[in-house]
Amino acid sequence: MPLQPRRQFSIPLSHNGTLSLGPRCLVMGVINVTPDSFGDALHITDPSHAIDVALRMEADGADLIDVGGESTRPGADAVLPDEELARVLPVLRGLAGRIKIPISIDTSKPAVARAAIEAGAAIVNDVSGLRYDPALARVVAPTGAALILMHTRGRSKDMYAEAVYKDLIGEVARELGASVAAAEEAGVARERVIVDPGIGFAKQAAHSYGVLARLPELAALVDRPILVGPSRKSFMREAAGGRPAAERDWATAAAVTAAVLGGAHIVRVHAVAEMVQVVRVADSIRSRM
């Protein structure tokens, strides 16, 4: 059966930029400036190292960079805003004027989002979907930044207790819709919102596979561009032979291919050079289906 063309969106960004989504799947590179991120073989704590990695990702074909200062892995401890800012601001300031692709700040904290946008971030990526602090949307609204809203339930230490679904795609779509509505009510224009179904967040492995398998259905229900972040996540552990996160890039390639074929507008990955190739081949296949 022929696939429906990926719907096209033009997402306004702060600092007078625009993100064109739809003609091809974009690749977002992950920069975790944390001592405890699950997905990195080497934890990046030195800002100069993080800046070098970001520039290398751009050279390797990344379309966006996502910088985060707090681990969002299940079970992670919370980080205070001042500590998060101390981790990310030197990186954002160091990239200013040196990187040409848009930068996203991965945070759920209003104070961090505000300072990051002032330092050059054009997108705020909220893994809580405004559930941790709804005031985040009120901070984003006047800046013109785009807003990524991810689906999850509960906090990192109890999210798996919330992973109970009777209608997986319907429930994820409704809860994402509630997040989008909350953003709009706070003044964020709908045209600036991207949604993320939250692979691995408040989902057992079967749920994450189910979301990947049914992305076209989800896309039709949410009516917003979709970001998918399967990179190195634990839902693939068993299928990958029990390998640790840093050794799951082959598994990630399969999940990324499924996301692209399912119509994802953006994939968020750690291994940019490798996944750029995967995305381009998957997009070429998709265009002929």
The set of catalytic residues is: 233, 268
* CA 211 – CA 177 distance, rounded (Å): 16
* CA 14 – CA 214 distance, rounded (Å): 32
* CA 82 – CA 271 distance, rounded (Å): 29
Phi/psi of residue 147, nearest 5 degrees: -135, 120
Give the type of residue at 6.
R
* CA 150 – CA 107 distance, rounded (Å): 11
- 256 to each of 166, 182, 253, 262, 281, how far by Cα in Å? 26, 29, 5, 10, 11
Distance of CA 160 to the CA centre of its chain: 19
166 class by beta-carbon count within 10 Å (0-12 exposed, 13-18 middle, 19+ buried)? exposed
Name residues whose C-beta falls within 8 Å of residue 237's C-beta, 6 or more positions apart in sequence.
205, 243, 248
* CA 165 – CA 83 distance, rounded (Å): 35
Q: Residue for token digits 């840093």?
A: 246
